[in-house]
């Protein structure tokens, strides 16, 4: 299976955001991954609605927006207006997860649920039928450039088994520490979407690196 490649803008050169997005647009990348952090759910602050809205005209590729924030329901409609195509919320941040997912779907976006490294995939049993994507954090959320957590492979295999047994079409997205060295193993374990930050944007040839990641299947 050929994976979806979603370069993470968090690792890009913020001084040249437009050209970085144009590079992704002209590459074999499928989506653009946008990490939004509030300094409360995670110990970092990234970018938000104004940046996403400004970048939206630079590409027609889907915006995969990952909300690492508390109270995501307060901002879902605004992210839709800013240009989000996929909106992912954290299971750990949502007291009423089903309501959050309904809101996202009703706004016309695909809905994703993200899990921190310590969170078991078994908690997804009663929401999998309602979502389009599960984002498995393979590093602790908040900062780019961290080392991949090896236990993620077991979580991927477990989640792939649950999804397949239920006959569902739910993407498994891996976010954190994805490299050219582990991309194939992640896909073979059952991942369908690879988020790559430093691997892409710090490469000597980002476009060629994206092309290599596309061959991971």
Q: Which residues are marked as active site?
A: 35, 175
Q: Please state, in angstroms and rounded to a whole number, the distance separating the CA atoms of residues 174 and 193.
A: 6
Q: Please state, in angstroms and rounded to a whole number, the distance separating the CA atoms of residues 102 and 53.
A: 23
How many residues would you count in the chain?
217
Torsion of CA 174, 180, 183, 184, to 10 degrees: 180
Q: Please state, in angstroms and rounded to a whole number, the distance separating the CA atoms of residues 54 and 58.
A: 8
Q: Tell me which long-range contacts 49-52 makes (C-beta under 8 A, separation of at least 24).
A: 49/75, 49/78, 49/79, 49/82, 51/17, 52/79, 52/82, 52/83, 52/84
């Amino acid at each position: 299976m050929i994976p979806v490649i979603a370069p993470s803008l968090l690792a890009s050169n913020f001084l040249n955001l437009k050209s970085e997005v144009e590079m992704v647009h002209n590459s074999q990348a499928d989506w653009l991954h946008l990490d939004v952090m509030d300094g409360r759910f995670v110990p970092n602050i990234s970018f938000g609605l104004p940046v996403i809205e400004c970048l939206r005209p630079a590409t027609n590729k889907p915006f995969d927006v990952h909300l690492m924030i508390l109270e995501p329901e307060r901002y879902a409609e605004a992210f839709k207006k800013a240009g989000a195509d996929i909106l992912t919320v954290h299971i750990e941040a949502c007291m009423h997860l089903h309501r959050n997912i309904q809101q996202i779907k009703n706004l016309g976006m695909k809905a994703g649920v993200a899990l921190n490294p310590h969170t078991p995939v078994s908690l997804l049993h009663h929401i999998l039928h309602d979502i389009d994507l599960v984002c498995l954090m393979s590093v602790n959320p908040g900062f780019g450039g961290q080392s991949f957590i090896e236990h993620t492979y077991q979580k991927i295999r477990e989640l792939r088994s649950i999804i397949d047994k239920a006959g569902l079409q739910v993407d498994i997205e891996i976010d954190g520490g994805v490299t050219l060295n582990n991309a194939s193993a992640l896909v073979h374990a059952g991942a369908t979407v690879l988020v790559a930050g430093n691997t892409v944007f710090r490469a000597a040839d980002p476009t060629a690196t994206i092309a290599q990641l596309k061959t991971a299947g």
